[in-house]
Amino acid sequence: MKKIITIVLLIIIIIGCATFIFYGTTSPSISLKKDSFQFEYGVPVFLRASDVLDTDNEKILNSFEVDTSKFIYKNHDYPEVGQYDCIVSYTKRNKEISDVIKVNIKDSTPPKFTKIPESITIEQGDDSSLVSNFEAKDLSSFDIKIDTNQLDVNVPGEYEITVNAIDSYKNTTSQTVKVIVKPKQEVVSNNVVQTPTTNGPRYVKGILIVNKKNPVPSNYAPGEDAQAVNQLRLLIQDMQRAGLNISNSYSGYRSYNYQANLYQNYVNNYGQVAADTFSARPGYSEHQTGLAFDLLHQDGSLVENTPEANWIAQNAHRYGFIVRYQAGKEAITGYQAEPWHIRYVGSIATDIYQSGLTLEEYLGVAGGEY
């Protein structure tokens, strides 16, 4: 009898040990995959057991829950930006287990422009309407800010501004927009619209006029006009492709002080009467506008009565230029003929060229001497 009892106890011990070894060494494990999760603002948050827990057998899970009661919602189905502590609860073989994870809601999406024009025209001296030209949208609050460092609202011309839409988390969208500053206009006799000359450059029919009767202020310094330079380079390239002797170099924008020194040198060498026939006094030079250019041969000499000069006379208008000082028009322009001196006027260049008129005649303004 004792022998039988001993055998039964031994069997029980063996079964117990086998059970302990089996469950202690082969039981599937469960652990957190990671303790923090990040979601983009605007996206509903859903966390499944497979997202949070690392296990090779989900069947041993009797329950799983993520407590998101600390999430803050504002009239939508996604939580507000912030970091939340969430309790993860699950049951493994009837054993309740809890862990804490962090859920980070982050806004990393910049605003999107819904209204942004290619160009804006404003009146000289008034940039108050700039911001109204732009609209954007974003899930977070945002501001539209304009970088006007390159804009001189008091000087007519074309500029570029940078428009930024910046949300409350510093996400930024930027666009570059052209701004055209239109001169203040008033109606004078004969229904001609022009700008008074007392406070700045004179515009007639939208064209800047600079001659011996119409100067620009000494502080007028727009630099080279970008569009004019682009068209000038196209003109030079086409002349070179045609085999003409033309340089990539040219004489373009001149400041008031530069022109003053240049003019004085001519006066010193030739006398003022002679100098006034081919050199402008400071403030009276088209070169100060950034719209006038002197074309050069490859040896640096000015383009005169050569095939190059003929080509310029016949084709410059196709690029938005006119030959400003023509032979036989000296009494009107106030200067000797200069086949090398071209002036950018844009789309009306062909009309002026076909008319055969000087800029003074075309615009109906006075020219000649000072």
What is the C-alpha separation between 208 and 197, in angstroms, rounded?
11
Question: Please, what are the averages of pLDDT over each run of 10 residues along the chain (370 residues)?
Answer: 62 58 54 90 89 75 86 91 93 84 95 92 82 91 88 79 93 92 53 44 88 91 93 96 95 92 92 93 94 94 92 96 95 95 94 95 91
Active-site annotation holds for 308 = no
pLDDT of residue 8: 56
| pLDDT score recorded for residue 95 | 83
pLDDT for the residue numbered 26: 46
Q: Strand, helix or coil at 63?
A: strand
Write down the pLDDT at residue 314. 96
Beta strands in the chain (DSSP E): 30-32, 36-40, 53-55, 61-66, 82-92, 95-106, 112-115, 119-123, 135-137, 142-147, 157-167, 172-182, 186-187, 193-194, 202-204, 207-209, 250-251, 292-295, 321-325, 338-344
Dist. CA 125–CA 154, nearest whole Å? 5
* Structure confidence at residue 25 (pLDDT): 44
**Active-site hit among 224, 338, 361, 369:** 338
C-alpha count within 13 angstroms, C-beta hemisphere, residue 4:
1
Q: Are 180 and 153 in contact (CB under 8 A)?
A: no
Q: Measured between alpha carbons, how far is residue 254 from residues 152, 293, 297 in Å?
A: 18, 10, 20
What angle (nearest 5°) sits at the alpha carbon of residue 210, between those of residues 209 and 212? 130
Structure pTM?
Answer: 0.49
